[in-house]
Amino acid sequence: MNAVIIVAGGKGLRMGGEIPKQFLPLGGKTILMRTINRFLEFDSSMQVILVLPESQQDYWYSLCEEYRFQQPYVIANGGETRFHSVKNGLAKVSKAVELIGVHDGVRPFVSIETIRAAYEEASRSGAAVPVIDVVETIRHLVDESGSVTVPRGDYRLVQTPQVFSSELLLSAYAQPYTDFFTDDASVVERFGHAVRLVAGNRENIKITTPFDLKVAEVLKD
């Protein structure tokens, strides 16, 4: 059995509005609803754990009524950091689950192919992260006085879902929190397990700014 923890704790500050970005409408449903639907399109029996701040849950429930959204999910409370939010989500995962994905709630355009690749690789190696190539020149800031160009072929841009065996992820999240934990892969690597890379899809953008929303309006069709 598969599960996905969808983390949706954003406040929408960079979007410039009062409504958190995951609740913004996009083509007849909210961004978050589109994200949930994508995973259930991949696996209709998947357990969906939705992590939301307690202060946003009533509003989410009202949106579900407004949009008649009836997909199955389990709710978990958001935490102080992303690490703590995922940990709260893990507490809701069924014991029958073998693979757990963690996905950003504002990435509604992840492809079925990307999801499948991540879950299949995690079933083999225990840990998989989707990535895409860097297409622009990047520079490394050496200090306040300068920077140097680095070979972009040595780097990848990381996406979600990041998928792991349930035993591995639960064990990794038993570690004490540190600022080093920027995503789930960093937690698993600190635990001592290597992470394998799979091909992501460039449309799998994280919607955080008004520009991203304009791109999403094009991608939704």
Q: What per-residue string of b and e applies to 118-149 under the rule 16 or more CB within 10 Å gives b?
A: bbebbeeebbbbbebeeeeeeeeeeeeeeeee
pLDDT category of residue 9 using cuts at 50, 70 and 90:
confident
pLDDT category of residue 1 using cuts at 50, 70 and 90:
very high
Residue 165 is inside which H or E element, if any?
strand 162-165
Mean pLDDT of the chain: 94
pLDDT digits (tens, 9 = 90+) for 151-187: 999 999 999 999 999 999 999 999 999 999 999 999 9
pLDDT over threshold 80, residue 16: no
Residue 48 CB neighbours (<10 A):
21
**CA distances (Å), origin 92, targets 46, 64, 77:** 13, 21, 10
pLDDT digits (tens, 9 = 90+) for 50-103: 999 999 999 999 999 999 999 999 999 999 999 999 999 999 999 999 999 999
pLDDT at 11: 57
pLDDT at 13: 47
User: What are the structural domains of the chain?
Assistant: 2-219 (3.90.550.10)
Tally the residues of the chain: 221
Q: How far apart are CA 97 and CA 2, in angstroms?
A: 5
The average pLDDT across 6-11 equals 80
Dihedral of alpha carbons 36, 38, 39, 43, sign: positive
Comparing CA positions, the residue from 191, 184, 213 lying closest to residue 86 is: 184
**Better pLDDT: 128 or 11:** 128
3-state helix, strand, coil in the chain (%, to 5): 35, 25, 40
Report DSSP letters for 19-88, one per residue: S-GGGSEETTEEHHHHHHHHHHHH-TT-EEEEEE-HHHHHHHHHHHHHTT-----EEEE--SSHHHHHHH
**CA distances (Å), origin 12, targets 9, 55, 85, 113, 178:** 9, 14, 17, 29, 25
Residue 25 CB neighbours (<10 A):
13
